[in-house]
Amino acid sequence: MMIARLVQFALTQRLLILGLCVLLIAAGSMAFRQLPIDAFPDVSTTQVKIIMKAPGMTPEEVESRIVTPIELEMLGIPHKRILRSVSKYAIADITIDFDDATDIYWARQQVTERLTAIARDLPPSASGGLAPITTPLGEMFMFTVEGPLSLAERRSLLDWVIRPLLRTLPGVADVNALGGLVRSFEVVPDPAALAARSVSMAQLQAALEANNRNDGAGRLGAGEEALVVRIEGSVRTLDDLRQIVIERRDGGPVRVGDVAQVRIGSLTRYGTVTQDGREEAVQGLVLGLRGANAQQVVDGVRAKLAELAPTLPPGVTTQVFYDRGSLVERAVGTVSKALAEAIVLVLILLVLFLGNLRAALVVALILPLAALATFVLMRQFGMSANLMSLGGLAIAIGMLVDAAVVVVENIVTHLAHAQSDSGTRLPRLHIVYRAVREVTLPVVSGIVIIILVFLPLLTLQGLEGKLFIPVALSIVFALAASLVLSLTVIPVLASYLLGKVGHEDPWLVRLAIRLYTPLLEWSLAHGRSVVVGALVALAATAGVHP
């Protein structure tokens, strides 16, 4: 039998097994540190979003001139599941969902190719493109910029100082700047002045566009050297705007300052951010890449903001009001606490029922070893450590010791018999091998049956599958690892750690037997009453269940 040969190999190569056990501990510890950590599994589909801006357009115009042409162009993309859109004032939001197995980069390439083909048919004022590679659950960190600055100054600080630094962090898809005032130069035409100088709005607009750029003016030869001539014509100050010449006449040039008021203003706002219902605020929103380690992203953002704090203007700070890391820490802490409590309770019960501290410790070692093996398998299968996957491991804690308890208990029994039988001269390893081989079939059958119970969860699809498949996989990984370890590592550890064992059952077991034996005898003598009582209890349960 293959399993018997595995047990025999483990006992004959004990040092090798112990060495592999040490490697498992190292690999499991490394895998746990490298596992992506999040509060919950990513339940979003493969999704590509298109954001288009069209200043001044009403929702009806956005729908007819931007959304409809793009939707028609996106029809027929392979593996597309859902195409939906939202048309707002000056903004179009188009979302395309693909099959779960679709590669996100392939999907974005398909959308980009079709969007490029339709770009020439869109209004000239429309701009935008694909949104960052993130998910609806990608909002990981939110903060406000506080201090004795105006809304425009805080927004400029966020746009030009804080946001560029945060976007360089690994795992950050984008940093959205919300609220405040985006500083701009405004040219407000004076209709009377335009009419007096016979200048049209089109001429004013053309002059502004033509005189707000830098350009190259060729080269000048100087011996063996060539000097590059560059003209800087981009607008930097309000005076630059005022001095732009619209046209020249006999009376002199007509400048922008002659026909319009030039001032500092802000871009048109489509919404605001309020803080505590009192005043407006400037908010930064950090979006994580799809599949990024949420804990690492949040830690990186915290460190970067702390590093940036001394360089901000006096009195200016960043106040965090949402931090995914806190949620992750609470979720992982909850599961870790449950795991620790379960391990302690299991160890106590093992000592009470086995009546041997060494035997209890040998069985208890299956818990960390199986957990480390589970982390290795989770890493290999691309799973993350979250409330569902770690919760599955916590659920399996009580079942992980089943095989080890049976193996160790039978080893203790055989060693006790060997010690009491003066005629027995079998080697210690041979006794351990016989004890393990006796229970191999029931142990394997029991664990495999439990694994089969959870396999149907792996067939779930959609949202249910993304939520419960990590639970089922972590339980299956843990149980499979505990079975292999119970037939290899546990016998080896028992052969080293179990010395002389007692001949009597522990007092708690003896007490349980004394209480159970009369009940068993009565049940065997009144079999019909027991069956009827069980059926009545089943019927009562069915009636209570909704």
Contact 286, 168 (CB under 8 A): no
Question: Cα dist. 316→103, 311, 312 in Å?
Answer: 42, 10, 6
| CA distance readout (Å), 24 to 136, 198, 374, 486, 493 | 37, 85, 10, 14, 15
Place of tokens 């490298």: 34
pLDDT of amino acid 94:
95
Classify residue 435 by burial, with Cβ atoms within 10 Å: 0-12, 13-18, 19+. buried
- For residues 470 and 493, give the distance between their C-alpha atoms in angstroms, rounded to a whole number: 31
Which pLDDT score is estimated for 353?
78
Q: Which long-range contacts (CB under 8 A, 24 or more apart) does 504-510 make?
A: 505/355, 506/352, 506/353, 506/354, 506/355, 507/355, 508/352, 508/353, 508/355, 509/353, 509/355
pLDDT of residue 507: 77
Check if the beta carbon of residue 495 is closer than 8 Å to that of residue 13. Answer: no
CA distance 338 to 454: 21
**Predicted pLDDT of residue 68:** 94
3-class state of residue 288 by DSSP: strand
With a threshold of 0.75, does the pTM exceed it? no
Using alpha carbons, select from 185, 147, 176, 340 the residue that is nearest to residue 261.
Answer: 185
Positions of the chain with pLDDT lower than 50, given as ranges:
none
Question: What residue type is assigned to position 528 of the chain?
Answer: R
CA distance linking residue 319 with residue 282, whole number of Å:
11
Contact, 84 vs 47, CB < 8 A? no
pLDDT value of residue 262: 92
The whole-angstrom separation of Cα 148 and Cα 316 is: 7
The four Cα atoms 311, 315, 318, 319 give a dihedral, to 10 degrees, of 160
Alpha-carbon span 112 to 196, nearest angstrom: 49
pLDDT at 498: 80
